[in-house]
Structure 1
Amino acid sequence: MQTTKQEVSDLLSRLPDDCTLEDVQYHLYVLQKIERGLKDVEEGRVYTQEEVEKKMSKWLEK
């Protein structure tokens, strides 16, 4: 398991030299969201297709 510092260093090495601070922030945000989603899956915090369709149909009725 990599440390946060190693993950950021790896990210920076993959980005082009002319990337902006905004580019770096965006990529960090995306990586954070992916990691959070994978953790949710591991911990069973997921919805089935049927559950999603049921929730969406309620939202779309309003």
Structure 2
Amino acid sequence: MTAKELVKNAIEALPDNATLTDIREELEVIEGIEKGLADADAGRVVSHEEAVRRIESWTSR
């Protein structure tokens, strides 16, 4: 699906009373998901265990 198609589908799925802020937030979520999927496809990922270790190091200071 193209970026344009993603945007059109996202906007059409929102309620008629959606604000510009609602639309912007929805597009930001979609952008984040797309970036994450691209990172995963490119192998730029860490294991669940590594993610937990990193998060624990942030909170144990």
| TM-score, with structure 1 as normaliser | 0.80
Task: Quote how far apart the aligned CAs of 1:57 are.
Answer: 2.5
Note the aligned Cα RMSD (angstroms). 1.4
Could you list the structure 1 runs, at least 4 aligned residues long, displaced by more than 3 angstroms after superposition.
none
- Distance in 1 between residues matched to 2:56 and 2:8, nearest whole Å: 43
Equivalent residue, structure 1, for 2:20: 21
Task: Quote how far apart the aligned CAs of 1:40 are.
Answer: 0.8
What are the within-5 Å matches in structure 2 for residues 1-62 of structure 1?
1-2=1-2, 4-62=3-61
Higher-Rg structure is 1
Ranges in structure 2 where 5+ consecutive residues have no aligned partner? none
Give the % identical residues. 36
- Distance in 2 between residues matched to 1:34 and 1:18, nearest whole Å: 24
| 1:4-62 deviations in Å (ceiling 9; x for gaps) | 33322222211111111011001000000000111111011111122112212322221
Aligned pair count reads 61
Ranges in structure 1 where 5+ consecutive residues have no aligned partner? none
SS in structure 2 of the partner of residue 33 of structure 1? helix
